[in-house]
């Protein structure tokens, strides 16, 4: 499996930790459910809109040992929190997946908190690996992709989002189209075979009735 990254513009906030705990908590919505993304465009002949199914990340959410990292601008060399260490909490709600991260008191973490409080952070990206998806066209004829199952790898607040790499999405789209074409060809072949057998049967019965 290969990782894909998507950006979601939303409000991220910072609050003090609960009574009896130390540090600051960074929280927000990481992933929206069943909401159309802005058109994701790789080139003129491939543009699509993406939806995240509300059950897409159930496996990760239900498995407490499934690792999810909290990073600053996708920097894996300086992680700020991780789920298995108890510093990152992820929760499924009606409209998406929410997170609470409690980073350590490091320069990197303080820089992120200051950027959030200054309004420099535009939103967050999330890194994921898709294991099951579905392609369809909406009423305007635009290609749409619904993510049905995926593994959540990381959540990253970012100052400016990188343009999404859609190479994997295009590969999935091409595979889905090939499968549809193969199914249509098979259906057409079956229909032609049925018609040929029907014609042969009619000719045979006509010949038998002539003999009689």
- Distance in angstroms (rounded) separating the CA atoms of residues 107 and 18: 22
What pLDDT does residue 166 have?
41
**Cα angle value 140/142/46 (rounded, 5°):** 150
Backbone angles phi, psi at 121, to 5 degrees: -85, 125
What pLDDT does residue 23 have?
81
- Distance in angstroms (rounded) separating the CA atoms of residues 44 and 131: 26
What pLDDT does residue 79 have?
93
- Distance in angstroms (rounded) separating the CA atoms of residues 138 and 136: 7
Give the three-state DSSP class for 2.
coil
CB-CB contact of 11 with 87 (8 Å): no
What pLDDT does residue 46 have?
74
Torsion-angle region of 119 (φ positive above 0: left; ψ -120 to 50: alpha; else: beta): left
Enter the tokens of residue 136. Answer: 């369809």
pLDDT tens-digit profile, the chain (212 residues):
578 888 877 778 898 877 666 789 999 998 989 888 877 775 667 788 889 999 999 988 999 899 999 999 888 998 999 999 999 999 999 999 999 999 999 999 999 999 999 988 878 889 999 999 999 998 988 889 899 999 999 999 987 665 454 444 455 556 666 655 555 666 666 666 666 776 766 665 666 666 65
What pLDDT does residue 170 have?
56
pTM, 2 dp: 0.73
- Distance in angstroms (rounded) separating the CA atoms of residues 143 and 172: 12
What pLDDT does residue 178 have?
65
What pLDDT does residue 103 have?
94
What pLDDT does residue 62 have?
92
What pLDDT does residue 1 have?
57
What pLDDT does residue 94 have?
93
Helix H or strand E encompassing 26: strand 24-32
Cα dihedral 11, 14, 17, 22, rounded to 10, equals: 140
């Amino acid at each position: 499996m290969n990782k894909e990254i998507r950006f979601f513009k939303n409000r991220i906030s910072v609050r003090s930790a609960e009574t009896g705990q130390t540090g600051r908590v960074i929280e927000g919505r990481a992933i929206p459910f069943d909401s159309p993304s802005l058109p994701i465009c790789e080139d003129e002949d491939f543009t699509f809109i993406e939806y995240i199914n509300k059950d897409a990340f159930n496996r990760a959410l239900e498995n407490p040992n499934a690792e999810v990292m909290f990073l600053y601008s996708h920097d894996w060399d300086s992680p700020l929190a991780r789920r298995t260490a108890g510093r990152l909490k992820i929760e499924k709600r009606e409209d998406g997946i929410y997170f609470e991260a409690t980073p350590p008191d490091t320069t990197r973490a303080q820089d992120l908190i200051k950027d959030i409080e200054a309004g420099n952070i535009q939103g967050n990206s999330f890194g994921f690996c898709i294991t099951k998806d579905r392609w369809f066209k909406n009423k305007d004829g635009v290609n749409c992709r619904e993510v049905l199952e995926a593994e959540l790898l990381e959540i990253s607040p970012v100052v400016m989002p990188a343009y999404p790499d859609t190479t994997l999405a295009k590969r999935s789209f091409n595979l889905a189209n090939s499968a549809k074409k193969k199914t249509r060809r098979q259906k057409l072949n079956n229909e032609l075979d049925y018609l040929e057998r029907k014609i042969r049967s009619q000719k045979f019965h006509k010949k038998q009735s002539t003999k009689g």
